[in-house]
Structures are given as structure tokens and as C-alpha cells.
Structure 1
């Protein structure tokens, strides 16, 4: 978890003053991890810190802060005694009011939660040592937050029914950078999810060298010939994971053809086919859920190798 400046800046631009509610620390069982944040403005909110009663309390306090014009507040909440929740742990919440002028210029972002004072050496040292994606730190009355981690690249090849379902499921996931490729602009839906880069390309495989070598790939075009060309290109480029839509029969033919193209059995086995979880069914949304679960658990080593389909 880390400070998402772009999302905060967009909310401020759209709604004016915004209170950011941060789970700064947790003890014992808690609904969300330290670093989780949500944004609250006069007429709405985005994100969630979880917990039902905890979130209700946090939003109420945030709206009170907006009305009163206060800048920051901090509170430790025992979830059982204070909110009658069963988690049994405690969370430390920080509320901060942001306007355009108070957005951080750089990350990591260190600031005092009370009256401003000289920055202690321990705070400066913590900020220097904080890696992207690190949990927030409370140090001598100061809050220090890291820059976001590098987004994990996901390249989706094909904008048919399954491609659309997968992008719809994966786009809201934090920490992903999705690139979506198909043959022409009219292959894509009228509205592409926010944060997804859609690229029409008459020769999709020519884009493979642009993909990061640590990208996850999902190959699900309308053409078996194009699927094969993309698998061949992906094996030549390298990847974190690669999944191919298809049946056991399709994969057997692809293995033979990829072998004829010069790829070793070990390399070819790095491609997962079929993808998803066949126990969930073959509906595009069911495939998308299975693929998303596999990717969240670590990549194609988790993708099903059920050859029965």
C-alpha cells in the first residue's frame, strides 16, 4: 500500500476539498491492511477501508472535518469495544484534508500530523529508506508514506467476449497496468475501462517486443493462426506468465507447431492452456473469474492445466 497521488489529485480536481482516510497501522485482526485508504468529499466517496461500522465512523468524521475545515486528525480505534465488531483487533486511522495546494510534490511523503515543527532525523531517515509500496510509518508525530510500487504489466491479446470479460474483471484491481490489443478500433467496446491502454494493430505480434519481459500475457484472439503467432512471439520475448485460451486438442496442436518453430518442450510448457478454472464453466465471465484468481495467486503456475476441455 502506498500514496496514490494521481487518484487523490483527480478527486480534488473533480470535487474540491477531499479528506483522505488512511489505515495507518493495525494490531491484531483488522478488516484491511495498513496503507489502505479511501477518499471522502462533500457529496460522495471512493475506495473502502472495510469493516462496515468502522467505515461509517470514518466517513462521518471525514465529513465533519470538511465542514469544520480541520486539516488532520488521528485516532486509534479498538474494533470490539469502540465499534462492537468481532474482529478483535484495533486500527489507527489518519484523516487528512487535501486541496490542490496541499498535494505532495514528491514521494515518499512525510508530514506532521500536529502543529508543524522541525523534521526529526528519524523521519528523514525513514523516508530515505522507504521503498515503493512500503506500508506507512508513524514516526515521532509524523506520517511517512511511500511511492506506489511499479504496476504489474498485463497484456491482453484479443477483445472478443472473453477478452472483454477479463479486462472488465481485472481493470479495477490495484497495481495493474493493462495493455489491450486487437486488430482494429472497432474490435473494442465503445467504453474502455479507466487505466486500460487499448491499441488497435493490424499486425499484433509486431507489438510483442514492446511488452516488458516481466509482463503477464493472455492470448485469446478470434484466430488460431494469430494465437499461434503470438505464442511464438511471446516465447521469443520472454514473460512472467502466458496463458492461451483453448481446449486440450488445440493445445496439443500448438505444442507440435511451436516445437516445429524451434521452441523446446520446457519453454512451451511455460504457456498455460486451457486458462481459467474449468469447474466454473465456460461462460466468458466464469473464465475471467478463474483467470483473475490465478493471476492474483501468482501467475500461470496457478492456471489450470486441466486437459479435459
Structure 2
């Protein structure tokens, strides 16, 4: 996770003055990692730094904050009603539109305790900009350094029915997903769409497959079996990292028999996952969404482990 500049910008545009509270450093056990952040405004907040009482007290202090930036130390023990046994350092910073507009697009580095930029930070920035190696979020030599967050996984959700809406509700808060949501017309989508989700109404959705990145992940769950089939056909000809189709084993057997005459060999057809999610959880849209989200996260974790073993 890094500095989510877009979410901060949207919060400032909506609520005005916003305080961003980030875990700058930890010692021992902590409910969240360095770089975990929440946004606080007068009547609300978003994100989480974890910890229950820690988060509540930090949010209340942020609403009263008068200085542009403030560091605070918190022991996660009996005084906070917690038993983590560690300690966290929080950095709370006030943002308005001008401050958000001044943020760097790659790495956000700023002095916390005053003084010029130390050599350690200069080296981190040079490596990030010259070699494309973003630094880990860290408080170093009086400076807070965070890479700007960019979602690493392009997810295309085809269909805005009950299951599509449930999936967007479950997956949109996850920071790694950049979601493109496609259906046949604007009336198919809800009035309120979560931030970070790109809505694309298209009379002929299958025509959009060629515009998807070849490493994108896809969930196919439209109102039409014929459209589902055409999307599967286009995806098999286009390539993808993952493609999941909603449906039963019977539906998938019929699709396989219809995809083969279109020129797709069994091995390629087998790259599509159907059914998706965990059928044992049930068929309620939210149950399907929870199972699919777990499957996507598990799939990514397995790929990471494979990379670690081959490194």
C-alpha cells in the first residue's frame, strides 16, 4: 500500500479540509502496517489504521488539529484497552485542494521534524525515479517517505445486475484493484458508484474486450447467456490473467461445446474458471461476491508465492 493520492483528492473535493493519519513507524506488535492510513473530516472518516481505541482517539485528535502536521506516539497497551504490546508513531497531516495538487506523482516525501532533505531520502527518490523501484513507506531521518499508490490489478466486471453490484461493493474498497464496470446502458448501473470504479455503458460490450489490458482479470456475469458466451469467445482470442464466468457446471459444459467450434482448443477453454467463487457459501449475491473475492485474492497470493520460489 502507498499514498492513495486519488482517494485523498476525492475526499478533499467532497468534504473540504481533510486530515490524513498514517502509521509512520511501529515497534513490536501493531494492528496495521507502516503506511496504513485513514482520512478524517469533520463529520466522518474513511480507511483504517486499526486498533479500535487507537483509531478513535486519533480521529478525534485529527478533527481538533490546528497545525499542518503532527507526530504522536501511542503505546498499544492497557491505557488504550489493547494487548498488542507494541507502539506506533502516527503522522497526521492537514490537506486542502492546493496541498493535494502539490503532491508528487511517484513518491511523496516530506520533512516531519524540519531540516533539509537528508542523503538517505535523496537516494530513495533517485532509485524510485531512475530505476523505477518505489520505496517502502517509512519514517527515515526526520522525513516521511511513501510511494504513490497505483492499483496493480486491472479488473473488468461484465454485468451490473445483482451479483455485479455485490462484487463491486466487496471489491472496490480493496486498494489493488482498478475496476472497469461494463454493461449495456447507463440505466443498468446504480446511481451511486464507489470511487475508483470506471463505469462504461456500451451497447455492444463484447466490442470492448480488445481495449482491456492483456494481463487484466475478468468476471463475466451479464443478464444474457449469449452475451456471456460472446465475451468468453472474445477473451479467449484476446488473452487475460484470469477470467471467471458465473454459472453452473451444466452452463459451462454447454459453453465448452460451443466455444470449441469457434476455434478454441480444450486447453485454452480450460483457462476460464466456471463456476466462480465458493458454491458452498450459497447463491445470495453477497455470498457469491464474498466467494469470488476470496478466489481472486487467493489466486494472486498463489502467483506471488510462485514468483518467490522461482526468484
TM-score by length of 1: 0.88
CA contact (8 A) 1:2 1:134 kept: no
Partner of residue 113, structure 2: 114
Contact 1:154 1:176 in 2 (8 A): yes
Quote the residue 1:307 is aligned against.
Answer: none
**In the TM superposition, what are the counterparts of 1:121-270 in structure 2 within 5 Å?**
121-130=119-128, 134-270=135-271
Q: For structure 1, which runs of at least 5 residues remain unmatched after alignment?
A: 303-309
Q: When you count helix as a share of all residues, which structure comes out higher?
A: 2
Work out whether 1:73 is the aligned partner of 2:70. yes
Q: Give yes or no for contact 1:132–1:148 (8 Å, CA) kept in 2.
A: no
**In 2 relative to 1, CA 32–43 (structure 1 residues): closer, same or farther, beyond 3 Å?**
same
Alpha-carbon distance between aligned partners in 2 of 1:294 and 1:78, rounded to the nearest angstrom: 36
CA RMSD of aligned residues (A): 2.2
Question: Quick check: 1:46 aligned with 2:46?
Answer: yes
Query: Structure 2: any 5+ residue segments left out of the alignment?
Result: 304-311
Q: Deviations over 1:240-276 (max 9, x none)?
A: 1000111111111212222222222221111110111
- Asked if 1 retains the 8 angstrom alpha-carbon contact of 2:19 and 2:62, the reply is yes
Is the Cα–Cα contact under 8 Å of residues 294 and 300 in structure 1 kept in the other structure? no
Match of 2:22 in 1: 22
147-156 or 213-222, which moves further after superposition?
147-156
Cα distance in 1, alignment partners of residues 215 and 158 from structure 2: 16
Q: How has the CA–CA distance of structure 1 residues 193 and 142 changed in structure 2, closer, same or farther, with 3 Å as cutoff?
A: closer
Q: Corresponding residue for 1:31?
A: 31
| Aligned mate of 2:98, from 98, 101, 107 | 101
Deviation, structure 1 residue 300? 11
Quick one: distance in 2 between partners of 1:95 and 1:300?
A: 32
Q: d(CA) in 2 for partners of 1:167 and 1:275?
A: 15
- What does the per-residue CA deviation read over 1:48-90, in whole Å, with 9 as the maximum and x for residues that have no partner? 211111112212322332xxx2122223322125424122222
Contact 1:213 1:238 in 2 (8 A): yes
Task: Give the alignment partner of residue 88 of structure 2, picking from 84, 87, 91.
Answer: 91
Number of aligned residues: 298
SS at match of 1:10: helix
